[in-house]
Amino acid sequence: MAEKSEAAKAFTLPSPDLSDVQYGPYERNVLDLWKAKSDKPTPLVVCIHGGGFKGGNKNTYMQEKAAILVNLCLEAGISVAAINYRLSGQAKAPAAMLDGARAVQFLRSKAQEWNFDPERFAATGGSAGGGISLWLGFHDDLADPEASDPVKRESTRLSCMGVVATQSSYDLLFIRDMFPGNTAWEHPALLEFYGITREEIDSPRARKLYQEVSALPHLSADDPPVFMFYPQPNVPLAPDAGPNVAIHHPKFGFVLKEKLDALGIECIVRCQDDYEGDAREQYYREMLEFFQRHFGCG
């Protein structure tokens, strides 16, 4: 278990109001919910754990990394949900992204019952969870007005996203070109995510999957704004950096920012060297302020 930062130790995760609510048909389609106390419908932040699409769960993520954000959100009158999703050992790409979309649709379907404002939803997550969050924000709306399942009629769109140490692209060829000489592009977690071998990275099937699950190919002028934090300094990748360092490098954020700036969409990128001392509480407070501004509250 990762050691908690001093900031994290100061925030205890409260017990959720609802635990392991089934939002979809699969075993890992479960979520927890913390309801903010309010007479009016509240905004909602959906938290999505990381783990390279092959591990992790909502319980560990919320206790070890997101307890600060939960406390800050509840104090600000913002409800919080945390989801599990299918891992790559159970289903390959784009299953994790589609589970994230299903969770958002399910939560919207419960807006009246659980006192949410369906027009004010955000997503957050670290690494793979951040990648799912970006995908949700940038992908075209998956709502199907003609669906027999009422949950599928709900929108998957977001008001904004706040992500940590995440990837704006899962295109292995793009990653290889972005970090020449580094092996991040053949990271075992990504190969397993797609269900491909190293020899298949340039195959038509792989290229199609890259386009489907990466954030960058889905950008459009009506997309929501993003806050991004990277727990590394914004410096060039060292020649001896391992693939785990590269796959969480701030360059992913700045590549996305360049594209969003051109579209006139706000994108804030913060790095470890933007803060003094323990950054976690500082960036979560800034992320909360970002959410509040785009929710039109606070």
Q: Domain containing 265 — which CATH number?
A: 3.40.50.1820
Q: Which residues constitute the domain of residue 228?
A: 6-167+222-295
| pLDDT of amino acid 278 | 87
Domain count, the chain: 1
The answer to the question of residue 198 being in a domain is: no
Element (H, E) at 217: none
Check the CA dihedral 108-37-78-27 and report its sign.
negative
Q: What are phi and psi of 265, to 5 degrees?
A: -110, 130
Give average pLDDT by consecutive 10-residue segment, the chain, 298 residues.
Answer: 51 97 98 97 98 97 96 98 98 98 98 98 98 98 98 98 98 96 93 96 97 97 98 92 95 98 98 92 97 92
Tell me: the pLDDT tens digits for 50-75?
999 999 999 999 999 999 999 999 99
Sorted by sequence, the CB contacts under 8 Å of residue 214 that are 6+ apart come out as 135, 168, 169, 170, 171, 174
| CA angle, 68 then 100 then 134, to 5° | 70
DSSP states of 159-198 as a string? SEEEEES--S---HHHHHHHSTT-SGGG-HHHHHHHT--G
The verdict on residue 192 lying in a domain is no
Q: How far apart are CA 184 and CA 272, in angstroms?
A: 21
Q: What is the pLDDT of residue 298?
A: 60
Would you say residue 201 lies in a domain?
no
The model's pLDDT over 76-107, given as tens digits with 9 standing for 90+, comes to 999 999 999 999 999 999 999 999 999 999 99
Within a domain: 178: no
